[in-house]
Amino acid sequence: MSSLLPFLLPARRHGLAGVLLLLQLAWMLACAPALAAQPDDIVLRRGMASPVQVDHGVELLIEEPGEHLTPLRVMAPEMAGRWALYPGKRINLSRQVKPVWIRFTVNNQADAGTSWLLAIDMPVLKNIDFHQVDPAAQRVLSAHSAGLSRPTQGQLLKDPTPPFPIEFGAGERASVLLRVQTDTQFTVPLMLWEEKELHAKRYDHAVAMGLLFGVLGVMFFYNLSLFIFTRERSFLWYSAYLLSIVLYELVITGYGPFYVWGGSEWLKARGYELFACFSFLTATLFFRHFLSLKQATRHLNRINQASVVFWAVCTLAAFFPSTRALGLAIALGGIASGVLGVYSSLYLSIKGNVLARYFAIAWITIIVATFVTLLSMFGALERGWWVINAQHLGFVVETVLLSIALAEQIKREKASKEAAERESLRLLRKVEQEREEKILAQEHALSVQLKANEELELRVLDRTAELKRAMENVELANVQLAKLSVTDGLTKVYNRRYFDETLKKEHDRSARTGTPLALLLADIDYFKKINDTVGHLAGDECLKLVAATLARTVGRSTDLVARYGGEEFAIVLPGTDATHALEVAERMRRAVEEIQFIYRGRRIPISISLGVVARVTDPHRPVAEFISAADEALYGAKGAGRNRAMLAAA
């Protein structure tokens, strides 16, 4: 098999791939130096020997509207100035609906008798015209066509990804002209195959696709039958989601427009947007009913409702002609849905929802699988069977996991129903027993009356104890809720609102009692550089480490550590004079400096600058002036070189 000759153009029209667009862009930025360092020439190999080399790079020419260029016309000498050379392994074009001509020359140094086929491994291109030409004689040696808008009868091989023969012997050169056209952004990956290897690869691929659609089809009909018999809406939405995955896979593999709806030009043009939006819509509705988001926390319910409305609107919009706005909406919506789906399921998992764990694993599986596919497209991973079919396998694993989750749901509901029946039987037996005791009590009225009074008192005591325990639980829940309302979500120290309230109280107390009050403002040095060089995730971990270190360094329960804003922290030390406040500040500075922050195999140094103000407060001066003094000291510390503590002027 030859190595990859990809022409990668961004595919924002690909709705489901939008889930990983953000990860894709991050990877491209991280790998940009390595990509730029690759050799300019493109080499296609069969196995490990006899290279077939592309001479002088690859050139592109964009055909203007109304030109209707022919192969002989684009080879004319006067057209030479319109060809643009794109050396290297990747050609990225912006949104391009005009026809694009691609030309290159391959030098065959392979063994004699080897037959070569040029395969375009992208089944959703609208028009593909292949020409093998003789530039010196200005003539076309062979021509073939393929694409969604072309009939399948005239194609060399009946397959969604069309191959074209390149006829040249050992030691000869062959010039190739390709005219490619599609409705929006497109990818044109070109691979040169030895003919026998290509047929073997097509057979393996067909078997894999048969297994894929077989598994998805079995899952669909099985869950649809479960809905028919149980009337459980989760099975209905899961069946709809499975159907959307089947339709989406039919589009991206090319089997849909090639075999299923080949006569429908409307579906060929809008299949991407329609089935991508439909798959997100059904996934969101399944997620809603499967995890009972109506009874979940309010913010998860609102997030899900907004997602349902968004994808319903996008699905309706997909019935109309494709626009750039719709493609962008699908891409951004895919990113948001992927992130929110993982967040919601992980949030519910942390809250103890076992079923949410299945959804989180399934959703992360398809995200990782799609990411592997993207890495393969960009050349970061070797194109093997597992890598090429990663997304297809991800869908299979996802559907199996979700089916297991539904089975687990049935099991839990059955267990809950059996428990309710056992409780009902127990209560019925208890009622019968009480009735017998009442009949016996009639024979011994006086003794039974006394016994009844005693039992009544015991029941009152039990109910009173239960009520007391319930009140204690409510109070405990209120305490926990109050704690959450004053805690910063990222760093787990107190938030700015609680800091403002506490500082105001301590400021008034210092003025009233005459005891000193100290305020420390700490700022992480060069925090923006950490974010810019290693990323915002590393920045978040840095904030957590610094917050935990500061909270651990303060020595008294009355001291307060709060996140003041961004990378700034505020420390309130009641009853602390300037000397001791500076000691605490220096202790904090050293503790932060000793943090061993290792991220992605390298240590990132961390330091802080601190501004300190400590004095007995004046009741006639506002708290803002007290904070301003600490802030000026902080700026003084940063101006003096950072990684130090400075006391505010008296």
Which of helix, strand or coil describes residue 646?
strand
On whether the CB atoms of residues 627 and 503 are closer than 8 A, the answer is: yes
Distance (Å, whole) CA 547 – CA 571: 11
Judge contact between 63 and 98, C-beta under 8 A: yes
**CA separation for the pair 569, 610 (Å, rounded):** 9
DSSP 608: E
Backbone phi and psi for residue 437, each to the nearest 5 degrees, phi listed first = -65, -35
Which whole-number Å values give the CA distances from 558 to 555, 589, 613, in the listed order? 9, 20, 18
Helix, coil or strand: residue 356:
helix
Closest C-alpha among 482, 642, 484 to residue 567: 642
> Distance (Å, rounded) from C-alpha 101 to C-alpha 74?
8
Three-state secondary structure of 264-312? CHHHHHHHHHHHHHHHHHHHHHHHHHHCCHHHCCHHHHHHHHHHHHHHH
- What does each C-alpha distance from 600 to 32, 140, 606 come to in angstroms? 18, 55, 16
Angle between helical axes of 265-290 and 354-377 (0-180°, round to 10): 150
DSSP labels, 113-144:
T--EEEEE--TT-SEEEEEEEETTTTEEEEEE
CB burial class (10 A; 0-12, 13-18, 19+) of residue 171?
exposed
Selecting among 273, 472, 567, 583, the annotated active-site residue is 567
Distances (CA, A) of 282 to 271, 311, 442, 568, 602: 16, 9, 64, 43, 43
Is residue 423 annotated as part of the catalytic site, yes or no?
no
Rounded to whole angstroms, the Cα distance separating 345 from 339 reads 10
Helices 233-253 + 195-230 axis angle, to 10: 160
Amino acid at 3: S
DSSP code of 614?
E
Q: Are 626 and 570 within 8 A, CB to CB? A: no
Q: Is 408 helix (H, G, I), strand (E, B) or coil?
A: helix
Catalytic center residues: 567
